[in-house]
Structure 1
Amino acid sequence: MAAPLADRLRPRTLAEVCGQQHLLAPGRVFRSALEQGRVPNMIFYGPPGVGKTTVARIIAENSGMHLHKLNGTTAGTADIKAVLGDVGTLAAQGGILLYLDEIQYLNKKQQQSLLECLEDGSVTLIASTTENPYFYIYNALLSRCTVFEFKPLSPEDVQQGLRNALHRLGEEDGVPILPQEGALELLASACGGDMRKALGCLEFAAAALPEKDGVRTLTEQVVQQVTQRAAQRYDKSDDMHYDCISALQKSIRGSDPDAAVHYLARILEGGDMLSACRRLLVIAAEDVGLAYPQAIPIVKACVDSALQLGLPEARLPLADAAILLATAPKSNSAHNAILAAMEDLRKGRGGPVPRQLQNCHFDGEDNQNKGQHYLYPHDYPNHWVAQQYLPDALVGTKYYEYGENKTEQAAKAYWEKIKGR
């Protein structure tokens, strides 16, 4: 059984790697250090199919050290102990290099077991992960490693890899494959910067291409059939989830309805309707807030409709909510006010509730001013009367500042008139 095309075409040197030029271009610190034979403890972080494993293998195979390979999805404590058991043996005279793929799947105890050997330099670690290492990797282990981010490949990088793959497939089968104009560009764009995915789609497509006049032709129509949803990268537990949720809120906060529906669509295509609903409710209160208070019940109604309808129809009320919020006036005045009030509480500022605001309590014999003395605002003109509401320690404190939008400025003008300011 033949190895997958992505494995058969895996680069053997750093110069052959497509993309990641921020790390691998000549003169970059990363590449220069490796070319001088210096291999520090490293963690490679980035999405699938962008070259993390390839670069790690190239470094490992050229390090001159005794190489051990483990995968976090299958490795257990016994496997790690077996690696550490080679420390100090003849087989490991040049040092031990542990290549650990998917390190995020090791539990905290397993990660801790590596600390001592990394500290004394008896083992050098190269690890890779698709998850944010600052969330999934033990802090003490992180402090002993340098983290390098691998970025999604550009369509141009993927196209270069696809051209190499077409040549290789033609050689293996003895029948050349010619791409129709635009076919490789479409395939490269459809795979979301994931070379492995692009090569997998190409290999599948090539197997179905008929031979005609001694050649096979890769058409855009064939590419479209093998790349349906191929570019969709979304998992409810990975970084892409948090990135899309963050981008949705920031696009709405920035009043960009086009970007808002784009990120909403990505979330819904991933089947994560509940996260979209929760975030839209948050945005209505946090970013639109008092500039358009009706946004809150309107978005709540849209969310309720979406939950009742389910996907795919739920996309309609949720799109209504996203566009409404993106095009609405913005105010974070209430958000800032509650944060400021909570900060004061954390600092210990507060004190007893003023007597006139308390629930009715018994006045002790030592109370010289018996009675609650609460002034009921509805008994006064315009339903307002001056009295102290904040605790004594906070009298005069301002948490809320009126926003510059029409709604809050109207409220400000009204109360300034009533309060005679």
Structure 2
Amino acid sequence: MEPDLFTAAAEARQEKDPSSSPLAVRMRPRTLDEVVGQRHLLKPGSPLRRLVGEGAGGPAGASSVILWGPPGIGKTTLAHVVSQATEKRFVELSAITAGVKEVRTVIDGARRAAGGFGKETVLFLDEIHRFSKAQQDSLLPAVENRWVTLIAATTENPYFSVISPLLSRSLLLTLESLTDDDLKGLLDRALTEERGLGGAVALPEEARSHLLRIAGGDARRALTALEAAAGATLDKGEREISLETVEETVDRAAVKYDRDGDQHYDVASALIKSIRGSDVDAALHYLARMIDAGEDPRFIARRLMISASEDIGLADPTALPTAVAAAQAVAMIGFPEAALTLSHATIALALAPKSNTATTAIGAALADVRAGLAGPVPAHLRDGHYKGAAKLGHAQGYVYPHDVPGAIAAQQYAPDAVHGKRYYEPTRYGAEARYADVVEKVRERLGRPGS
């Protein structure tokens, strides 16, 4: 919404006394050069640089911009920077609370500002994916006529969540997650710059590492936690922020987890072994440690997919589809909501009946192949579709299973070297008990009973 008199007064107080603003606000970038991360968007001559009038060619031609990326990586900040760099009026709306009426009010105000004062307007619309098609349609006249420069932010794929007419008139910028190095640079600036903490406190590596973990790639969260820890440190009459102070101020214990070291693999291993052991509570504990440490949710999802085949297999045929669905959901939604999906899959896998026969079966088959037990494909199984195949005896004598009762043809399928080998030995756990009965009957029909 447009600022009211009270908001304007608050902003005036903050300009007069910057220390009254939260640290995250004080450290908000004033130019594109101060933006954290997003190097791929900030190169000289990039569309974003051109949007603010930098470089040859002047401003980019698009009348709207769509910023797509996970939460907390600076979409709102970029919109503010564009507004300041172009000296345009800035109005912010959230699609969660705003509707067509609010959009029209802003557009009417933009037209009046342009006509009466020659002042152009930047409309920042957060979470545009929450707008319906009709609500997004209401933006089109303002975008087409350039009554506003629309900067819309979304955490969802805009090709699925933004209407085509708006997307085709927009410059789509994909933002990347902030790295620990990005946040380290931001924390260093906040610690030393006058508009930040001005060198009032120091941040040892142990406390810094914990701040990075709890930030989870979110710049605002990192600065908010730093400000709280710095305030508590100064209140104690100290100058160095300790790990204990960080823990106290953010009310979270430091998780012993190193995403780049042994703990990364140890905790991941413990998660899978707890699932294998059907200890759902232990599995959830390790999952929580990985999530809290800022582990890539896609890594966790990949481990769950492997576990579904390695440790559950046909004992519960729904395990793998559950894990795959979780991986797809995680890729679409990201944290924090992805934690729910990973929990869902972890619980399902931990409580599923267990079987490692998919693992042992392919392991035994691979061992024989690598030992040289291969041999030629039986002639009747070879391709017989090309000219001359019959003369070679290929596909001759092949019995089409669908032409015989039960659709099981008693003929040799494996090469001579491994004919009669039994790689798959089903358990009697869960749904695999049915496969155990089936495989014995099939082997009997194929003339290979017993072991």
TM-score normalised to the size of structure 2?
Answer: 0.54
Counterpart for residue 66 of structure 2: 43
Question: Residues 170, 78 of structure 1: CA spacing in aligned structure 2 closer, same or farther, 3 A cutoff?
Answer: closer
Among candidates 208, 211, 233, match of residue 184 of structure 1: 208
Counterpart for residue 175 of structure 2: 150
2:151 counterpart SS class: strand
Counterpart amino acid of 2:41?
Answer: L
Question: Residues 328, 417 of structure 1: CA spacing in aligned structure 2 closer, same or farther, 3 A cutoff?
Answer: closer
Q: Distance in 1 between matches of 2:177 and 2:356?
A: 28
Shift of 1:3: 2.5
Alignment of 1:71-150 (within 5 A): 71-85=94-108, 86-87=110-111, 90-91=115-116, 93=118, 95-150=120-175
Counterpart for residue 423 of structure 2: 406
Is the contact made by 1:37 and 1:63 (CA closer than 8 Å) also made in structure 2? no
Shift of 1:145: 2.1
Is the contact made by 2:23 and 2:196 (CA closer than 8 Å) also made in structure 1? no
| 1:177-228, Cα deviation, whole Å (9 max, x unpaired) | 122343223312331110100111111112211467x752101222233445
Alignment of 1:313-328 (within 5 A): 320=350, 328=358
2:41 counterpart SS class: helix
Q: Distance in 1 between matches of 2:74 and 2:356?
A: 37
Counterpart for residue 248 of structure 1: none
Counterpart for residue 208 of structure 1: 232
Is the contact made by 1:24 and 1:31 (CA closer than 8 Å) also made in structure 2? yes
Question: Residues 263, 115 of structure 1: CA spacing in aligned structure 2 closer, same or farther, 3 A cutoff?
Answer: farther
Counterpart amino acid of 1:190?
Answer: I
Q: Distance in 1 between matches of 2:82 and 2:253?
A: 30
Question: Residues 201, 324 of structure 1: CA spacing in aligned structure 2 closer, same or farther, 3 A cutoff?
Answer: farther
Shift of 1:47: 2.4
Shift of 1:229: 5.6
Counterpart for residue 329 of structure 1: 359
1:147 counterpart SS class: strand
Counterpart for residue 294 of structure 1: 315
Is the contact made by 1:191 and 1:227 (CA closer than 8 Å) also made in structure 2? no
Question: Residues 24, 107 of structure 1: CA spacing in aligned structure 2 closer, same or farther, 3 A cutoff?
Answer: same
Alignment of 1:243-392 (within 5 A): 257=272, 265-266=287-288, 292-296=313-317, 320=350, 328-329=358-359, 386-387=404-405
1:55 matched to 2:78? yes
2:247 counterpart SS class: helix
Q: Distance in 1 between matches of 2:90 and 2:319?
A: 60
Counterpart for residue 222 of structure 2: 198
Question: Residues 146, 225 of structure 1: CA spacing in aligned structure 2 closer, same or farther, 3 A cutoff?
Answer: same
| CA-atom RMSD in angstroms | 5.1
Q: Distance in 1 between matches of 2:195 and 2:81?
A: 26
Counterpart amino acid of 1:7?
Answer: V
Is the contact made by 2:41 and 2:47 (CA closer than 8 Å) also made in structure 1? yes
| 1:250-293, Cα deviation, whole Å (9 max, x unpaired) | x99xxx948986998259979xxxxxxxx99x97999579x942
Shift of 1:96: 4.1
Which deviates further from its counterpart, 3-12 or 92-101? 92-101
Question: Residues 67, 190 of structure 1: CA spacing in aligned structure 2 closer, same or farther, 3 A cutoff?
Answer: closer
1:31 matched to 2:41? no
Is the contact made by 2:93 and 2:123 (CA closer than 8 Å) also made in structure 1? yes
Question: Residues 327, 263 of structure 1: CA spacing in aligned structure 2 closer, same or farther, 3 A cutoff?
Answer: farther
Shift of 1:121: 3.7
Question: Residues 55, 405 of structure 1: CA spacing in aligned structure 2 closer, same or farther, 3 A cutoff?
Answer: farther
Question: Residues 51, 144 of structure 1: CA spacing in aligned structure 2 closer, same or farther, 3 A cutoff?
Answer: same
Is the contact made by 2:319 and 2:349 (CA closer than 8 Å) also made in structure 1? no
Counterpart amino acid of 1:198?
Answer: A
Counterpart amino acid of 1:37?
Answer: P
Is the contact made by 1:43 and 1:128 (CA closer than 8 Å) also made in structure 2? yes
Counterpart amino acid of 2:93?
Answer: L
Is the contact made by 1:56 and 1:99 (CA closer than 8 Å) also made in structure 2? yes
Percent identical among aligned pairs is 31
Structure 1 runs not aligned, ≥5 long = 233-250, 271-278, 300-312, 332-383, 390-403
Is the contact made by 2:129 and 2:154 (CA closer than 8 Å) also made in structure 1? yes
Is the contact made by 1:284 and 1:296 (CA closer than 8 Å) also made in structure 2? no
1:16 matched to 2:34? yes
